[in-house]
Amino acid sequence: MKYCPECEDEFVDTVSRCEACGCELISEARWRDLQAARAAETSEVFVRVATAGDRFEADVIRDALAKEGIPVLVRTFQDTSFDGIFVPQKGWALIEVPEELLERARFVIDALAKARPQA
């Protein structure tokens, strides 16, 4: 996958420019580095608020938190070095938010869970 460094949208690998803002897209590895650098710049302490079981769940949570103005880091366990062997044990990714926004983020995630149709 590729990502827009400006609007943070995700694209398939065949796309080279963001449809919304025209920026050149970056790789997932560079995207993770950029997220970590942005977190370090703000000197905020990010803490775990949720664990996503797959990419779709991570995207839904990330989008909901972003709409509420809550910065989000998605730290996936699906790395190429270990071919995702930790995913069944740990989940697909950790969702992290600034410590001072933890309660607000939990409220948003709880609201998502309540809105989800039950099988």
On the question of pLDDT at 68 being above 90, the answer is yes
On the question of pLDDT at 79 being above 80, the answer is no
Is position 21 within any domain?
Answer: no
Into how many domains does the chain fold?
A: 1
The pair of three-digit structure tokens given for residue 17, joined into one six-digit string? 């420019």
On the question of pLDDT at 100 being above 90, the answer is yes
Is position 109 within any domain?
Answer: yes
Is position 63 within any domain?
Answer: yes
Is position 12 within any domain?
Answer: no
Report residue 33: phi and psi, to 5°: -60, -40
CATH (domain of 60): 3.30.70
Mean pLDDT of 46-73: 92
Question: Rounded to whole angstroms, how far apart are CA atoms 108 and 90?
Answer: 22
Is position 20 within any domain?
Answer: no
| Each residue's pLDDT tens digit, 8-56 | 777 888 888 888 778 899 988 888 888 777 767 766 788 999 998 888 9
Domain of 102, in residue numbers? 44-115
Question: Rounded to whole angstroms, how far apart are CA atoms 26 and 118?
Answer: 37
